[in-house]
Amino acid sequence: MNLVRVSFCKQRCFSSSSSPLPWISPLKLLKPNSQKPDPPPQPSLASTESQRKPKFISHDTAINLIKREKDPQRALQIFNKVSRQKGFTHNSATYGTILHKLAQSKKFQAVDSLLRQMSYETCRFHEGIFLNLMKHFSRFSLHNKVLEMFNAIQPIVREKPSLKAISTCLNLLIESNQVDLARDFLLNSKKSLRLRPNTCIFNILVKHHCNNGDLESAFEVVKEMKKSKVSYPSLITYSTLIGGLCESRRLKEAIELFEEMVGKDQILPDALTYNLLINGFCREGKVDRARKIIEFMKNNGCSPNLFNYSALMNGLCKEGSWKEAKQLFVEMKSTGLKPDTIVYTTLMNCLCRASRIDEAMSLLKEMKENKCEADVVTLNVLLGGLCRESRFHEAVQMLEKLPYEGVYLNKASYRIVLNALCQKDEMEKAAKLLGLMLDRGFFPHYATSNEVLIQLCKAGMVDDAVTALFGLAETGFKPEPHCWEFLIEMNCKDRKLLPVFELLDELVIKECTHNLHVGASFA
């Protein structure tokens, strides 16, 4: 038994020594291992990049990348780079996006190259691409290119241009006053495309004649429209004609045409059509007739909108009927309409003209409560109203405080108050306001500057006049000769020789600078 055990142990030791695994001493396992095993090798950057597959850019992603890119050249590079992807071909949307970007940036050679490329593409294009390009070229007065884009529709889109395309091209040419090109285009379209003009195309011609005051030609076009069922006059046709008649002060004919539209052709007017008549009567001072149109609207199921009320209110304000204007304002709000800045400004101007400045100022407070922002026109109306009432302290306070409240004022805001101060001989306030203007980078008119300097001297404020002159001189202002003489004379009377010498030095410097500029321009 012992022999067997010994033999078994020998076999076991032999098999262990022949094993491919290394033999480890038990003592070694008891000792702490001071050396850490080596980390697995990191893959190199080159191998990582080679293993990482490039992300495929879809059409939608390409469109977003092109739209976000501000530089048109880089946008074109994106367009070209995307097309190199395996299995990718540009479609109508990607072409339309890059063409819009290039045309917007006046890269017309690149546009032409892409259009040539499109003629070889097999994808289906939409004519909207060309309508967009036509608008860009018209904006840059490239009228022949507008026609080129129209003519490119059929070979690239592989369909005849739609009536919308024809209307767009015709309208762009007429709005640019290219009447001869428009006429030739219309004749060619009739022949080559067998065009039957629809109402939209005729309306463009009606609008053109009305804008030129040629109403007789406009009515001739309407006669042609009525002969065809395809192009019968629409509400837009009648509204255009009514607007033309009102502009020409032919109000009686405008009303007759309005009645023909409603009675004979059974076309219901909208708020815009009514507004043309309201404005026409208000311009002629017939506010009562304009008021009746508002009532007619209500009785016939057409609720007056903000523009209708605003037009009537403007007519009332021109007549000085501030009470009626206020009543109309209240009536408008009672219908649920929210007054906008124009409506508020119109009523404020009417109240200011009627010496009711406090009521106008309360409307400004109401605007803030209703979160309706007053613009610079509104504020200038109030400044003018305060000055007419000689409330200069409040006007100057507004000028001082409003910019700190984030309200924008323009040079007219300061000039309104400065001119009023000079007219009322409030020269101390005028001198302070002039300093405030110059500090904020606003300058008075040339004539006003001379007048301010002279009036300051007449008011005995010679030092202020000299200070104002040097402040104005820094902006490039050069007083008139009689203003120079007056300033020097007043300083001599006060025996202030140092300011006289300084003024003379300033005069010499100004003259020398002026002569140098003149000499340089001739050279």
Is 507 among the domain residues? yes
Is 516 among the domain residues? yes
Is 96 among the domain residues? no
Question: CA–CA separation, 130 vs 115, rounded Å?
Answer: 10
Is 254 among the domain residues? no
Contacts of 267 (CB under 8 A, 6+ apart): 234, 235, 238, 261
- For 480-523, write each residue's pLDDT tens digit: 877 767 776 776 665 555 555 565 565 555 554 544 443 444 34
- For 422-468, write each residue's pLDDT tens digit: 999 999 999 999 999 999 999 898 888 888 888 988 888 878 887 88
Burial of 259 (0-12, 13-18, 19+ CB in 10 A): exposed
Predicted pLDDT at 91: 95
Range of the domain at 478: 445-523
Q: Is the dihedral of CA 158, 159, 165, 166 positive or negative?
A: positive
Is 496 among the domain residues? yes
Region 193-210: mean pLDDT is 89
- Decide if pLDDT at 472 tops 70: yes
Angle at 189 between CA 183 and CA 194, to 5 degrees: 135
* Residue 65 identity (one-letter amino acid): L
Predicted pLDDT at 45: 47
* Residue 108 identity (one-letter amino acid): F
Q: What is the DSSP string of 62-93?
A: HHHHHHH---HHHHHHHHHHHHTSTT----HH
Question: CA–CA separation, 115 vs 108, rounded Å?
Answer: 10
Q: Is the dihedral of CA 76, 77, 78, 81 positive or negative?
A: positive
**How many folded domains does the chain comprise?**
1
Q: In Å, what is the CA distance from 515 to each residue of 502, 508, 520?
A: 20, 11, 8
Question: CA–CA separation, 288 vs 334, rounded Å?
Answer: 21
Region 94-114: mean pLDDT is 96
- For 311-368, write each residue's pLDDT tens digit: 999 999 999 899 999 999 999 999 999 999 999 999 999 999 999 999 999 999 999 9
Is 26 among the domain residues? no
Provide the H-helix boundaries in 271-372.
271-283, 287-299, 306-318, 322-334, 341-353, 357-369
Burial of 85 (0-12, 13-18, 19+ CB in 10 A): middle
Is 180 among the domain residues? no
